[in-house]
Structure 1
Amino acid sequence: MYDKMLNRTHKTHLRICKDWSVQATVSCILSESFGSSNVSIVAEEDIQNLSKAKAGGVLETVVKTVNECLAEAPRYGLKGPKMALGTTEVLEAINRCNSIGGPAGRFWALDPVDGTLGFVRGDQYAIALALIEDGEVVLGVLGCPNYPMRKEWLNYHHRYHRIISKLTPSTSESWDKGCVIYARRGSGEAWMQPLLHVNKNLVWPNSARPVRVSSIDNPSLATFCEPVEKANSSHSFTAGLAHSVGLRKQPLRVYSMVKYAAIARGDAEIFMKFARAGYKEKIWDHAAGVVIIQEAGGVVTDAGGCPLDFSKGIYLEGLDRGVIASAGANLHDKIIRAVDASWDSSAL
């Protein structure tokens, strides 16, 4: 039992360090590109909690990790700092992550580790970054370190397929390389590329390929995603909805915004999330995924058919019951009609 407690404590420490490290790294890269005075970020963690954690060595770990990450920046066509950052510079970078969003101006929404349990368990998680201008998402990026290049492998635990991948020849399609998916509002395209290359001489941006939502609009052939944790969404309600619209496949339960990536890439057709009463969705949990699916040809709305509103601060205020993402309008309309027919008996 003591060993389990130590292991759990270590994983929690690792997750906390990763959150702040990612925030600081992203803040530094954006500041290098646009100037620190022009960078405003809405993010999950704040500097006050990190300052309190100094005694536990967390801050030292964060500073070390940030410098290790920034040293890799040139490999991805980015400009890193001329010298290693100190504690003050890292804290300043994290302090730029204190925006509260709103309807006017430009800010970034960042989820440094979306899918905490997935990360801790070595399963699916994502780093999500979105640019929001005057309340509208104009750019979305999802980094999915454990996202398999083969659809069927999403149904299994990541570590199992890391073992399998060691038994097969290494290619750019290998399970353990992950991917980055991104899109810009109005472009009509979403793109994906490997997170890392087997061929280290290949320039990273040159491997991008377009992704598109699935063409399936027959519910009996469609796959739907939902959160793994029951606390985040009602599995019983989504199961009832799935049955009522003719979805026959088992749900694909995946941690994090990888669900959005799965729909954009055509690995699934529907994502449904209906949280318990009182839960408020945060903008960083959806912004990047929404624009990626839309530019890949899909549809994302609340359960009333209205666009998600990213102009009200850190929460999706005014959200009608839940979030629905679909590969096409026909499937989307069927889900919305099913929600309307079933909601009164949902107990949500």
Structure 2
Amino acid sequence: MSSHPYAAELSLALAAVHNASILTKSVLRSLKNHVSAETKADSSPVTIADFAAQALLISSIHAVYPSDQFLGEESADALRSNDTLADRVWDLVLRAKALHASRSQNGLSQHENANAGAQTLKFPASKEEMFDLIDLGGKGEQTSEGRVWVMDPVDGTATFMQGQQYAVCLCLLVDGQQTVGVIGCPNLAFDVEGPLGQSRLHEDLVDEAGYGVVLSAVKGQGTYVRGMTKDGWGEARKVELSTLPEKKLEELNFVESTLGKTSLSQEEHKAVCEQLGAQWPGTVIWAQQVKHVALALGSTDVMVRIPKTVDRFTCVWDHAGGHILYTEAGGLIKDFNGGDIDFAQGRHIAGERNYGMVAALPSVFEKVERAVKDVLARRL
């Protein structure tokens, strides 16, 4: 077993995210990239893949670390009140379990490329246990104390439904600090062995035949990317953004949400970009965690998040995991006051504590930060 801190947690997280990634990709392929959704109380969409993936993630981790806590985007409330929906999710879990059993019998395992400390994946034993496991995350509230696994089983549900980019996200917080982050991008066609920063990530850069990539980071140990296959993952490549050539300000590629479909102030995002002489929008990506991945892979250079009001919050599962991928690769992420993002606030990262975000490489960070402050000053 590796002597690196959190080696066992990383190995298990890689296996769990891989398992959930294969499940979500199977849903896309079986439904030919036309996935229907339920509507949650906040009007956002959720699919059978969201529920099933969260059940798989929590089941495997809870079996190994029963005292750890969880916080996830989904709860089982909709499943408990809708037998048809619950049956569809349970069928997905059973299919994932059968596939895992088949691989094990044939001598194949998600752990074949992992650390020796990898644990055997666990699955819910009943539909009711599946509900309870999902609710361990969905009913989770605190992130400030102890070990808490934060997850977004499908970040970017809207683009997932269209067969575009999405992410399966998992992050271990220890006393509110990101410690292990693993994010699977099953649809991302990225050349793991190619030069960093050479390919622009976009919604339709889809790995049609394969299973995309998985990125991981452990605090103080760097960021790595691996190609995913149906049965495992390839060799890890360390991502070091410091090796990229320094860009002029006008060459910076900003990553932006789908135009007009965000509650952030895109007009001010545009103003920041134009003040630096760069073209806006640069790379347009819907899923927040895929934006973090794009930054970590050097496929884009800058992210700004300017809320329209100070009381706006963002969800912790939209950033935990992706944030550590970028910072361990060499990037910086701060709020508008120069503070670190606080992941100990529970389900939300609140504007009162962390107003806005700036993400960029150290070589240009201060210039981007100044441009943001100049734009915000025009509000007065």
TM-score range, shorter chain: 0.7 to 0.9
Match of 2:144 among 103, 123, 128: 103
**1:145 CA displacement:** 1.2
SS state of the match for residue 267, structure 1?
coil
Indicate the residue corresponding to 2:329 in structure 1. Answer: 296
**1:241 CA displacement:** 0.3
Counterpart contact for 1:226–1:254, Cα < 8 Å:
yes
**1:143 CA displacement:** 0.8
Question: What is the CA–CA distance in structure 2 between the aligned matches of 1:27 and 1:88, rounded to whole Å?
Answer: 14
Match of 1:49 among 62, 75, 78: 78
Q: Which amino acid in the other structure matches residue 323 of structure 1?
A: M
Indicate the residue corresponding to 2:204 in structure 1. Answer: 157
Is 1:307 the counterpart of 2:335? The answer is: no
Distance change in 2, residues 1:140/1:191 (3 Å): same
Q: Which amino acid in the other structure matches residue 256 of structure 2?
A: E
CA deviations over 1:39-68 (Å, ceiling 9, x no partner): 3211111122321122xx111111111222
SS state of the match for residue 349, structure 2?
coil
Question: What is the CA–CA distance in structure 1 between the aligned matches of 2:308 and 2:92, rounded to whole Å?
Answer: 36
Counterpart contact for 2:33–2:163, Cα < 8 Å:
no
**1:217 CA displacement:** 4.0
Cα RMSD of the aligned pairs, angstroms, is: 2.6
* Structure 1, unpaired ranges of 5+: 1-6, 166-175
Question: What is the CA–CA distance in structure 1 between the aligned matches of 2:293 and 2:245, rounded to whole Å?
Answer: 16
Question: What is the CA–CA distance in structure 2 between the aligned matches of 1:102 and 1:156, rounded to whole Å?
Answer: 31
Question: What is the CA–CA distance in structure 1 between the aligned matches of 2:294 and 2:97, rounded to whole Å?
Answer: 29
Counterpart contact for 1:115–1:126, Cα < 8 Å:
yes
Q: Which amino acid in the other structure matches residue 222 of structure 1?
A: L
Indicate the residue corresponding to 2:194 in structure 1. Answer: none
Match of 1:253 among 284, 297, 301: 284
Indicate the residue corresponding to 1:29 in structure 2. Answer: 60
* Higher mean C-alpha deviation, range 100-109 or range 64-73: 64-73
Indicate the residue corresponding to 2:367 in structure 1. Answer: 334
Question: What is the CA–CA distance in structure 2 between the aligned matches of 1:27 and 1:17, rounded to whole Å?
Answer: 16
Q: Which amino acid in the other structure matches residue 224 of structure 1?
A: F
Question: What is the CA–CA distance in structure 1 between the aligned matches of 2:293 and 2:35, rounded to whole Å?
Answer: 29
Q: Which amino acid in the other structure matches residue 100 of structure 1?
A: E
SS state of the match for residue 141, structure 2?
coil
Aligned residue runs from structure 1 range 127-146, under 5 A: 127-146=168-187
**1:293 CA displacement:** 0.7
Instruction: Count residues with an aligned counterpart.
Output: 316
Is 1:281 the counterpart of 2:314? The answer is: yes
Question: What is the CA–CA distance in structure 2 between the aligned matches of 1:180 and 1:346, rounded to whole Å?
Answer: 40
Distance change in 2, residues 1:229/1:283 (3 Å): farther
Question: What is the CA–CA distance in structure 2 between the aligned matches of 1:120 and 1:229, rounded to whole Å?
Answer: 18
Indicate the residue corresponding to 1:226 in structure 2. Answer: 256
**1:262 CA displacement:** 1.1
SS state of the match for residue 377, structure 2?
helix
Question: What is the CA–CA distance in structure 1 between the aligned matches of 2:165 and 2:280, rounded to whole Å?
Answer: 21
Question: What is the CA–CA distance in structure 1 between the aligned matches of 2:129 and 2:285, rounded to whole Å?
Answer: 36
Runs of 4+ in structure 1 off by over 6 angstroms are: none
Distance change in 2, residues 1:9/1:58 (3 Å): farther
SS state of the match for residue 316, structure 1?
strand
Normalising by the residue count of structure 2, what TM-score does the alignment of the two structures yield? 0.76
Indicate the residue corresponding to 2:166 in structure 1. Answer: 125
**1:206 CA displacement:** 4.7
**1:279 CA displacement:** 2.9
* Structure 2, unpaired ranges of 5+: 1-31, 39-44, 112-118, 192-197
Q: Which amino acid in the other structure matches residue 315 of structure 2?
A: K
Is 1:86 the counterpart of 2:126? The answer is: yes
Indicate the residue corresponding to 2:69 in structure 1. Answer: 40
Match of 1:212 among 240, 245, 253: 240
Indicate the residue corresponding to 1:186 in structure 2. Answer: 220
SS state of the match for residue 38, structure 1?
coil
Distance change in 2, residues 1:280/1:8 (3 Å): farther
Indicate the residue corresponding to 1:169 in structure 2. Answer: none
Distance change in 2, residues 1:120/1:319 (3 Å): farther
Distance change in 2, residues 1:43/1:138 (3 Å): same
Counterpart contact for 1:302–1:319, Cα < 8 Å:
no
**1:232 CA displacement:** 3.6
Q: Which amino acid in the other structure matches residue 223 of structure 1?
A: N
CA deviations over 1:75-111 (Å, ceiling 9, x no partner): 2125234x87321221222122122123211101111
Counterpart contact for 1:109–1:284, Cα < 8 Å:
yes
Match of 1:64 among 91, 99, 113: 91
Q: Which amino acid in the other structure matches residue 12 of structure 1?
A: A
